[in-house]
Amino acid sequence: QAGSSPENIDGRDVTLSIRRDVQNVLETELIDGIERYGAKSGEAIVMNPATGKILGMASFPHYAPKYFYKYEQDLYRNPSVAALYEPGSTFKPITVAAGIDTGTITPETKCPRCDEPKKIGKYTIRTWNNEYNEDVSMKDALAKSDNVAMVYIAEEVGADIFRDYLKAFGFGAATTDELQEDINTPFPEKWGPIEVATRSFGQGISLTSLQLMRAIAAIANHGVMMQPSVIESFQDPISGEKIPVKPKEI
């Protein structure tokens, strides 16, 4: 009321969707993998594709919030939402999904031009091992991580439709408003033949790991994309009411 002094009210308690056992496994295995392969850094995320609830999210190197002043400020960022990278072959399921959803291919479709490197102007696109799979099925091409087959799919789908699918899968858009630093990311503007080709196997496009997680989860969830969320519920400090954060279909 006017003239009265304000009273301090505690903030709302937040219950996260993070599971302690999942988080512990992620952090342990992530550090083990980084040491085993001599990597400089790494990330791991576990999300329920049916609800979008994030059960674990780990990155390394990291910092201890209690002693944040002892660490470099670069480590304060959450790379899962703040660091852009080219996804490479982990992007290939998106290309295959676009091909299947448009009816351009089926899992058993044979690639009619996968028996040699793909030439586009002055560029030559090769497979990762420089081995070529004549008449390879789309299912086997994905299993073999065949770059040339991905180019075939994207070309058959067409640049405009392929671009529209990548937008529909959420690339370029923020993933959640619950995590600091999560913002819209650049979406490519140029879609010439070489750009379409390289993006079919995850090069020439930048995204965050949580964006890729959201897109792959949509495939796992039968084409329904869910809003990623780290919050299970809030508790009102005055009424004590527990307010759940319900899964949100986007």
Q: Tell me the catalytic residues.
A: 89
Residues 54, 58, 59, 62, Cα dihedral to 10°: 120
Q: In sequence order, which ranges of the chain are alpha helices (DSSP H)?
A: 20-37, 79-82, 92-101, 138-143, 147-157, 159-168, 193-200, 209-220
DSSP tag of 237: T
Please give the structure tokens belonging to residue 234.
């809030």
Which residues have a Cβ under 8 Å from the Cβ of 34 and sit 6 or more positions away? 40, 41, 42, 60
CA distance 247 to 250: 10
Q: 195, 183, 177, 184: which is closest to 123 by C-alpha?
A: 195
Contact 248, 229 (CB under 8 A): yes
